[in-house]
Structure 1
Amino acid sequence: MPRLQYGRTTIEWQFRPDARLKRHYVTVERGRPVLLRGPCVDLPEQEALVRQRARWIREKLALVNKPMAEDAVVTGSRLRYCGRSYFTEIRHVPALTTPRLAFSASRFVVECPWGNSITSEVVAPLLEGFFRERAEEKLLPRVRHWERETGLKCAGARIRQFQSRWASCDAANVLQFHPRVMELATSVQDYIIVHELCHTVEKNHTRAFWNLVAQVMPEWRREHEALERATFGDAI
């Protein structure tokens, strides 16, 4: 992997050509080489581009790699959404009274009144609020899609925070989904929806239930295994 020396800082970078971009972009993340993206250029041109931004890169490397509390979120940390982990930027905004979170341009931005790091405990409710908004916007329409696809009907669908479950189908056939379902890949989200729709017919995990799931989604085992590997929730 190419590298250059800028004062006492060794800058190692990885080049990722992207013909869709008209200019070059540099990304600095904790514990990773500097990422240079943009139109294809040879190694000397890459080095020139990195050297042009070397002072900025050095400052960002110092920021993202400084010692921190085990649960601190800093610029360069990663937060999960729809099965992927996204670059997170922490911005110090002293004028704020409480932190806030946004997602744009394929990155999370957390504005923090206290400094350039924030604990995961503080980020968690911000992220859950974001998941709740996205679930209302994206997940609930998928329920209606799968009702049309399967012919199975629920009495309603809503977002609800559970203690230790991803989703449920109650006795009245109302489907409920934890906001953190939005952490998962869309294919796993679809499996959860199908799973709960099948519970409108078979309340327990009987052979008939799993046969119905397989009839609707033949590749359900792959998504079920992915769900079991996820870090939250009991069996749905």
Structure 2
Amino acid sequence: MPLLQYGETTIEWQFQPDTKLKRHYVTVERGRLVLLRGPQVAEVEQEALVRRRARWIREKLALVNQPQASDAIVTGSRLRYCGRSYFTEVRHVPELAKPRLTFTASRFVIENPDGASIQPDKLMPVLENFYRDRAHEKLLARVRHWERETGLQANGARIRHFQSRWASCDAHNVLEFHPRVMELPASVQDYVVVHELCHTLEKNHTKAFWGLVASHMPDWHRHHEVLERAVFGDAV
């Protein structure tokens, strides 16, 4: 596999040609090589693309390779929603067939058939379903709001689980959002929506694209930095 030395970090990547993509994407995941996907390019061009995102890749490698938290979720743990962390109560409800999660204005309640604690891998599908429901309710409404505000029009919007991205705008201008966008502060959710709406006119991250984003959201840099600290992939 090709290598790039960036300071003290050795970046080894794998290239995956994808003719359906119009631009290149870098994905960083725990225990895997850095993945570069997009239209076919020679190795020298691949290296240039990886070098362009080398600082971002280095930060993500350090983040995803930290020891994984294995602590069970118990009463007093905190879960994230809309940029805040909320008190979580775990109740043992043995008659249930599977865990159930509800949210009030101030706390999460997890009803668990297996005890008064739940492992993160058992909780994540339930939590992601919660995010998905809230995204259908709230995020898609923000798409309609920003379509009115910007004059930009998508050919639909939906919630979809991505392997390593927050959102996308496909070749037909259909917007797709990962349920976990609902973890983010509302202002950053709006940035994600505006970002993807701008891709309905400018498919690549060109100077014209960022100018369009800035025309509708002048403080976009501040929100973009929040996404830069996330573990999902990034376009190059």
Report the AA paired with residue 198 of structure 1.
C
The answer to whether structure 1 residue 153 and structure 2 residue 153 are counterparts is yes
Cα distance per residue 1:105-144 (max 9 Å; x no partner): 3100000111110000010000000000000000001000
Hey, what does 1:179 align to over in structure 2?
179
Once the two structures are superposed, what CA deviation does each residue of 1:57-113 show, in whole Å capped at 9, x if it has no partner? Answer: xxxxxxxxxxxx933100001100000000000001111121111101310000011
- Who is 1:117 aligned against? 117
How far, CA to CA, are the matches of 1:157 and 1:225 in structure 2?
24
TM-score by length of 2: 0.69
C-alpha displacement at 1:227, in angstroms?
Answer: 1.4
Offset of 1:193 from its aligned partner?
0.3
Partner residue, 2:12: none
Say whether residues 1:224 and 2:227 are aligned partners.
no
- Unaligned regions of 5+ residues in structure 2, if any? 1-68
Tell whether the 8 Å contact from 2:70 to 2:120 is kept in structure 1 after alignment. no
Contact 2:81–2:184 (CA<8 Å) still a contact in 1? yes
Q: Say whether 1:130 aligns with 2:130.
A: yes
Tell me the equivalent position of 1:235.
234
Aligned pairs, number: 167
Give the aligned CA root-mean-square deviation in angstroms: 1.1
| Residue correspondence of structure 1 range 101-112 to structure 2 within 5 A | 101-112=101-112
Give the AA of the match of 2:180: R
Q: Using the alignment, how far apart are the partners of 1:113 and 1:170 within structure 2? A: 41
Q: Which has the larger radius of gyration?
A: 1
- What SS does the corresponding residue of 2:98 show, helix, strand or coil? coil
- Distance across 2 between alignment mates of 1:155 and 1:212: 19
The SS at the match of 1:137 is helix
1:66 alignment partner in structure 2 = none
For 2:234, what is the secondary structure of its paired residue?
A: coil
Matches within 5 A, 1:194-233: 194-230=194-230, 232-233=231-232
- Counterpart CA distance in 2 for 1:105 and 1:179 is 20
1:100 aligns with 2:117: no
Consecutive aligned runs of 4 or more in structure 1 exceeding 6 Å deviation: none
Q: Distance in 2 between matches of 1:146 and 1:221?
A: 18
TM-score (norm 1): 0.69
CA contact (8 A) 2:167 2:196 kept: yes
How far apart in 2 are the matches of 1:101 and 1:117? 13
For residue 118 of structure 1, what is the amino acid of its counterpart? I
Counterparts of residues 4-15 of structure 1 (less than 5 Å) = none
Q: What is the DSSP-based 3-state SS (H/G/I as helix, E as strand, rest coil) of the residue aligned with 1:202?
A: coil
* CA positional deviation for 1:191: 0.3
Deviation at 1:226? 1.2
CA distance in 2, matches of 1:71, 1:122: 12
Q: State how far apart, in whole Å, the 1-side matches of 2:107 and 2:145 are.
A: 28
Per the TM alignment, residue 233 of structure 1 is displaced from its structure 2 partner at its CA by 1.3
**Runs of 5+ in structure 1 lacking a partner?**
1-68
